[in-house]
Structure 1
Amino acid sequence: MRHLMALMFLVIFCSLQLTSSAPEASNAAKSKCCVKFSNAMIPLRLVKSYYRTDSSCPKPAIVFETDKRLICVDPETSWVNHHIAKVDMKTSTTTTITTV
């Protein structure tokens, strides 16, 4: 009887843990927060676009989009602002050309 009670307690305890962490997991997926940053400088030619993570994320980040993946970087890193400026310039030039 004790084994059955211990097993039931364990099942209930695990169920509560899963239930209480579910809202945090779903919010993180919606806001697309970065958990880790890449330390390597990404070649500018690979960067197609970028976006900033939501202000509700624990760490602010820039996410560079390449053809193959999304890469999280620290916005305080020196080369990141240079890449952002170049992507913005490339995007505005492309927009100007296509609208004329």
Structure 2
Amino acid sequence: MKTLTALLLLGLLCSLHTTSAAVMGIEAITARNCCVKFHPRRLPLDAMVSVYKTSSSCPRKALVFTTKKGKTFCVDPSEAWVQSHVTKIESRSTTAKTTMMSSTTATTS
């Protein structure tokens, strides 16, 4: 009887541990994709290669710029310089796609 009680208690403790570990894992992933604070200074446009919005589940709306070296910076989307950078980066991206598609079409024709 004591052995059965000990096994049940051990099983209960193991299930509680795995449940709490799973919750912490989900929180870590969410926290990693959300911006806690914004970069304090303007970033150089020529170093930026891409931009994306953080998840709508994040407590703070933010954009994330990625540099040529792969570094990421959280920025405030309401800043004028950020909006200007986004427009220019998206323009670059659209131009590159259009150029690539026209060169592919010219090659296959």
TM-score by length of 1: 0.74
Q: Which runs of 4+ in 1 moved over 4 A?
A: none
RMSD between aligned residues:
2.0
Q: How far apart in 1 are the matches of 2:72 and 2:98?
A: 26
Q: 5+ unaligned residues in a row in structure 2: which ranges?
A: 1-16, 103-109
Aligned partner of 2:85 in structure 1 is 83
Larger Rg: 2
Q: How far apart in 1 are the matches of 2:62 and 2:79?
A: 10
Amino acid at match of 1:73: V
Give deviations 1:50-91, integer Å, cap 9, x for gaps.
Answer: 000000001010000002200000111111110000001111
Percent of residue pairs bearing the same amino acid type: 40
Aligned partner of 1:51 in structure 2 is 52
SS at match of 1:35: coil
Q: 5+ unaligned residues in a row in structure 1: which ranges?
A: 1-15
Amino acid at match of 2:28: A
Query: How far did residue 28 of structure 1 move?
Result: 2.3
Query: How far did residue 43 of structure 1 move?
Result: 0.6
How many residue pairs end up in the alignment?
A: 82
Which of 93, 96, 109 is the matching residue for 1:94? 96
